[in-house]
């Protein structure tokens, strides 16, 4: 009976996704005991777990060009006595050193993939070691989040890995019920995911605050103060432009410079930090009011808070000419921007009011692109870690789309964006390929995706820029959208049907379900 249950577990494909994060208000002030507000940004990391019986564990990270394969039998022989059974224990230096040996990384290796691989091995060995034998798995992780930009990409990765492994090993149940396109875990299960994801972050960063993984797990918005994290009632999704100036910076150096300025000018800098704290609290109050009924005056207040906070951050000395340029470009179009994160370059956010015409947004993106910046049109307040029903097709031979192929940062704002999560051929090409082609995987290979961008024979099924994974069909149904779904023999309960008939950026069925599960 145990064997049959294990086989049933190993036959299930799992698809999960988790959001990144941005700091809305409270940068640098939080280091000095003030409040910071962090929100989930709807640029997501995706993980697909495929159980196997081939005795191998495969980790594929196409965004950074890494693919590692380990023999399960050899991993089984590793001395894992230092791992605490059933507990999210802190990784020790000795354990990390042992993981480096397993991963075949030399000591003090500077390989950018090192941390991601070690975090995966740590979570895999810790979570799966209670199984009679370590499971054979094929895991592929890809992301819309750029790395090293302060957007919580490593936390989203750790959250996806932890949730997938806990579910595959039946430490937590798969929350998807029959007929549901997407779902989230219970509060208790999310807390366990968060504990393990935090340990993955420890492997990567050493001593993280826990904010990034908490935002990625719970979604929405949270406040952080002196080590205490509290969730805020889920605010409405706010549209933003997220801009990466691509100017490198050192968070450690910037934090040190603010501390030095505080010691040098205490009577000047201390009130600035207190004022930033008041801005965070006022923003929290505004977001609370907007839960019930967002009004135009709320957006005006949010814009004022953004402007004041940006001036304060400049006074603290963490601004940069590139961020000034970002603010000037957006202000020329009546929009309001601030840095997010450490400053000194890095990323900035721009609030987009609901009544803003799309032509203005496109003009701003064009202007920012001409400055050499990367720009995403997305939203904040996104759902946290979620599980989605995998489409009824098999994985491709090629690699999945990369962040640059779904995000707007690589696309000229005046041209049609590159494809999203799924590309679907027109019915004619499906039928011409015969029955075998109807089961073909629709996750695009990166090279095919770019070639198909302007092809009339393809229909993008998700909206780039951080909108829903299951977006509305951009092609009218008269062009074959509905007949396409019929030709693929998808049940009418499948989410693609809802997408096909919904013009909304985020289909209401998914929005309502995600918000209900995440509240």
N- to C-terminal Cα distance for the chain?
A: 38
CA-CA distance, 243 to 349, in Å (whole number)? 6
DSSP H or E stretch at residue 71: strand 66-71
Asked if 82 is an active-site residue, the reply is no
Greatest Cα-to-Cα distance within the chain, rounded to the nearest angstrom = 76
Strands 228-231 and 14-25: unpaired
CA-CA distance, 62 to 446, in Å (whole number)? 10
Set 212, 216, 407, 502: catalytic member:
212
Residue 313's contacts (CB-CB under 8 Å, 6 or more residues apart) are: 27, 28, 276, 319, 338, 339, 343
Identify which of 370, 233, 357 has the alpha carbon closest to the alpha carbon of residue 292. Answer: 233
- Residues facing residue 374 across a β-bridge: 244
What is the 3-state composition of the chain as percent helix, strand, coil, each rounded to the nearest 5?
45, 20, 40
Cα of 8 vs its chain's centroid, Å:
29
Strands 458-460 and 56-61: unpaired
What tokens does 50 get?
A: 């495929």
- Residues facing residue 379 across a β-bridge: 239
Asked if 154 is an active-site residue, the reply is yes
CA-CA distance, 161 to 48, in Å (whole number)? 10
Strands 66-71 and 56-61: antiparallel
Burial letters for 349-382: b for 16+ Cβ neighbours within 10 Å, e otherwise? bbbbbeebeeeebebbbebbbeeebbbbbbbbbb
Identify which of 377, 392, 386, 401 has the alpha carbon closest to the alpha carbon of residue 460. Answer: 401
Counting every residue written for the chain, the total comes to: 519
Strand, coil or helix: what is 271? helix
**DSSP, res 415:** S
Burial of 133 (0-12, 13-18, 19+ CB in 10 A): exposed
CA-CA distance, 504 to 336, in Å (whole number)? 25
Element counts in the chain: helices (H) and strands (E) = 18, 15
CA-CA distance, 320 to 87, in Å (whole number)? 44
Set 143, 153, 154, 502: catalytic member:
154
Residue 443: what are its φ and ψ, rounded to 5°? -75, 120
What tokens does 96 get?
A: 């990390």
| Residues forming the active site | 154, 212
């Amino acid at each position: 009976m145990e064997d049959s249950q294990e086989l049933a577990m190993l036959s299930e494909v799992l698809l999960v996704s988790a959001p990144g994060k941005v700091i809305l208000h409270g940068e640098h002030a939080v280091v000095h005991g003030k409040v910071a507000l962090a929100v989930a940004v709807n640029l997501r990391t995706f993980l697909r777990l495929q159980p196997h019986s081939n005795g191998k564990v495969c980790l594929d990270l196409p965004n950074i060009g890494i693919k590692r394969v380990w023999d399960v039998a050899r991993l089984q022989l590793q001395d894992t006595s230092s791992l605490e059974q059933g507990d999210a224990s802190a990784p020790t230096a000795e354990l990390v050193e042992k993981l480096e040996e397993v991963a075949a990384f030399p000591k003090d290796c500077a390989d950018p993939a090192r941390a991601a691989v070690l975090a995966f091995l740590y979570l895999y060995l810790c979570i799966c070691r209670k199984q009679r034998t370590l499971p054979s798995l094929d895991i592929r992780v890809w992301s819309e989040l750029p790395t090293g930009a302060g957007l919580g990409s490593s936390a989203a990765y750790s959250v996806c890995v932890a949730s997938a492994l806990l579910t595959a090993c039946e430490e937590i149940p798969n929350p998807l019920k029959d007929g549901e396109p997407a779902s989230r875990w219970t509060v208790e299960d999310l807390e366990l995911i968060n504990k393990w994801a935090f340990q993955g972050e420890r492997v990567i960063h050493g001593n993280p605050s826990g904010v990034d993984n908490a935002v990625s797990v719970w979604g929405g918005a949270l406040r952080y103060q002196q080590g205490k994290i509290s969730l805020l009632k889920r605010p409405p999704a706010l549209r933003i432009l997220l801009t990466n100036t691509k100017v490198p910076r050192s968070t450690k150096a910037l934090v040190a410079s603010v501390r030095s300025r505080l010691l040098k000018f205490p009577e000047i800098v201390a009130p600035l930090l207190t004022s930033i704290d008041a801005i965070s609290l006022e923003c929290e109050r505004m977001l609370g009011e907007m839960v019930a009924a967002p009004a135009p005056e709320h957006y005006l207040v949010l814009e004022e808070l953004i402007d004041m906070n940006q001036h304060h951050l400049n006074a603290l000395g963490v601004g940069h000419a590139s961020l000034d340029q970002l603010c000037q470009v957006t202000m020329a179009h009546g929009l309001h921007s601030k840095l997010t994160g450490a400053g000194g370059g890095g990323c900035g956010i721009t609030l987009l009011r609901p009544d803003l015409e799309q032509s203005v947004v496109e003009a701003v993106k064009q202007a920012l692109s001409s400055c050499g910046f990367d720009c995403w049109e997305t939203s904040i307040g996104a759902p946290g870690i979620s599980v989605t029903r995998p489409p009824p097709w098999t994985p491709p031979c090629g690699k999945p789309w990369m962040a640059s192929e779904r995000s707007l940062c690589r696309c000229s704002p005046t041209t049609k964006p590159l494809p999203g999560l799924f590309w679907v051929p027109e019915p004619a090409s499906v039928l011409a390929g015969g029955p075998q082609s109807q089961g073909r995987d629709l996750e695009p290979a990166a090279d095919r995706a770019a070639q198909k961008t302007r092809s009339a024979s393809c229909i993008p099924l998700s909206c780039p820029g951080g909108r829903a994974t299951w977006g509305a069909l951009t092609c009218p149904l008269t062009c074959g959208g509905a007949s396409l779904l019929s030709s693929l023999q998808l049940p009418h309960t499948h989410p693609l049907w809802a997408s096909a008939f919904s013009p909304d950026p985020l289909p209401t069925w998914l929005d309502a379900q995600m918000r209900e599960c995440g509240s």
